[in-house]
């Protein structure tokens, strides 16, 4: 080595990537294998009536993620990793210490599992899902599940046969699955027809499931995504119109203007909410079955949600200071309220208190905020949909959704200076391994 040799090496992130034992594409291969095993167990469980196979599949996914994390352990732990691991460990422990009520083991398992997946999704730093070599295999798995749900296993019929759940517990869970397809659309390589066909599948599944909350969330998320087609000069004007549109819509609903629109399940739900909202907020009773007898099945589900949210909030604020901070315990909402809150944010607040709510919302906000621009709206869709449904229990969806949303690869502009002896030691350690 010459006397003028530098004391440090400046290496790109690609160089750091090559020092690891498993590439991003290899990790996607492991993930694909895990989800292949999961979907096989899931379908077998549905046909055989053995729901415990679903839990076995979840363990397979977690086991594979744990393995690939060990393969790529030398990474920077960002705020999402720290917050997710804190939520996985601290929230249950604090609830055990502060409450005499036992925790639901099933709810505890789901909570810890999802937190671990969130942390893993950041540690792995996966390549973009749409650029992965295994994207076709993952897409085929999702399409197969949807095809079975549409044809040979339509599941339970809901609301007079207008809604179907397919292979899932209810239509609301089925409505989540097609959103996964949007992650695998490459905005550069894939043509317009393929992109439109993917959205057509999403629309078809939403119509098949008849889930109003998913339809509204998809419409809003897609509208936000398409704002890029508007020039920046006109975009500000559109943003100014949004509050005006919201006020006009609220006034239109309050004046019973929904009767002027075509009668659909969604417009009927909104109409019922507009008529009964004040009564519900004051704690009055609503004749849900009478409403549905007159307007049709499912038309009272919206106002029922509003009433249930009010009862959930009232119960939460009636709790002790400790319960408001740490929550009533994982899995406590169905036990105390009879049913889940049908609002993921209220459920987090009720079961995990302000502490768990803040940790989880912060992590999800960061994941969506730092996602690639062309898939960020998919995170927004699920975030909006979670206002009317409990989605975190759908582990296969949430696991793959989180992995795809966090997949962003490594930036070539990132540089790191490492002491020369360290580089030599690290290369020797990799070679010995």
pLDDT score for 22: 55
Q: pLDDT tens digits, residue range 357-416?
A: 999 999 999 999 999 999 999 999 999 999 999 999 899 899 999 999 999 854 333 333
Higher pLDDT, 231 or 345: 345
- With 50 as the cut, is the pLDDT of residue 423 above it? no
With 80 as the cut, is the pLDDT of residue 223 above it?
yes
% of the chain residues with pLDDT over 90: 43
Reply yes or no on whether the pLDDT at 329 is more than 70: yes
pLDDT at 428: 52
pLDDT tens-digit map of 174-200: 999 999 999 999 988 999 999 999 999
Tokens of 376: 């960020």
pLDDT at 15 over 80: no
Query: Is pLDDT at 429 greater than 70 in this prediction?
Result: no
Mean pLDDT of 299-319: 89
Q: Which tokens belong to 365?
A: 């906000």
Is the confidence at residue 427, as pLDDT, over 70? no
For 23, 271, 413, the CA distances from 296, given in Å and listed in that order, are 54, 13, 57
Q: Quick one: average pLDDT of 340-368?
A: 94
Full-model pTM: 0.79
Model pLDDT, residue 66: 78
Residue 37 has pLDDT above 60, yes or no: yes
pLDDT average, residue stretch 290-309:
80
Give the residue-averaged pLDDT of 138-157: 92
Average pLDDT over residues 139-147: 96
- For residue 16, the model assigns a pLDDT of 46
Do the beta carbons of residue 383 and residue 114 sit within 8 Å?
A: no
Q: For residue 231, is pLDDT > 80?
A: no
């Amino acid at each position: 080595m010459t006397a003028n040799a530098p004391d440090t090496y400046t290496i790109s992130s690609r160089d750091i990537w090559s020092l690891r034992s498993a590439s991003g594409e290899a990790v996607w291969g492991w993930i694909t294998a895990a989800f292949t095993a999961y979907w096989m167990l899931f379908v077998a469980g549905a046909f055989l009536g053995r729901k415990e196979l679903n839990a076995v599949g979840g363990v397979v996914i977690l086991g594979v993620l744990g393995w690939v994390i060990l393969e790529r352990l030398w990474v920077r732990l960002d705020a999402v990793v720290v917050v997710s691991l804190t939520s996985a460990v601290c929230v249950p422990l604090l609830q055990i210490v502060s409450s005499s009520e036992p925790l639901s083991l099933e709810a505890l398992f789901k909570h810890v599992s999802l937190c671990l997946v969130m942390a893993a999704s950041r540690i792995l730093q996966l390549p973009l899902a749409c650029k992965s070599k295994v994207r076709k295999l993952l897409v085929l798995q999702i399409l197969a599940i949807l095809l079975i749900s549409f044809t040979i296993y339509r599941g339970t019929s809901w609301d007079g046969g207008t809604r179907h759940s397919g292979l899932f517990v209810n239509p609301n869970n089925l409505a989540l699955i097609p959103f996964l397809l949007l992650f695998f659309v490459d905005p550069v390589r894939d043509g317009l027809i393929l992109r439109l066909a993917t959205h057509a599948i999403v629309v078809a599944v939403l119509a098949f499931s008849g889930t109003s909350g998913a339809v509204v969330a998809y419409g809003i998320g897609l509208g936000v995504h398409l704002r890029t087609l508007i020039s920046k000069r006109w975009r500000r004007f559109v943003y100014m119109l949004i509050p005006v549109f919201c006020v006009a819509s609220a006034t239109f609903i309050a004046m019973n203007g929904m009767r002027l629109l075509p009668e659909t399940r969604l417009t009927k739900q909104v109409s019922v909410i507009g008529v009964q909202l004040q009564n519900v907020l004051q704690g009055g009773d609503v004749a849900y079955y009478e409403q549905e007898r007159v307007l049709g099945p499912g038309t009272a589900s919206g106002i029922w949600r509003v009433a249930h949210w009010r009862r959930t909030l009232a119960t939460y604020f009636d709790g002790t200071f400790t319960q408001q901070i740490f929550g009533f315990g994982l899995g406590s909402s169905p036990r105390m309220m009879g049913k889940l809150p049908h609002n993921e944010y209220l459920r987090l607040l009720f079961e995990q208190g302000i502490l768990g709510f803040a940790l989880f919302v912060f992590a999800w906000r960061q994941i969506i905020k730092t996602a690639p621009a062309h898939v960020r709206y998919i995170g927004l869709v699920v975030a909006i949909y979670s206002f009317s449904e409990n989605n975190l229990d759908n582990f296969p969806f949430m696991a793959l959704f989180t992995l795809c949303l966090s997949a962003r690869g490594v930036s070539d502009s990132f540089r790191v200076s490492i002491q020369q002896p360290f580089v030599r030691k690290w290369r020797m350690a990799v070679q010995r391994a």
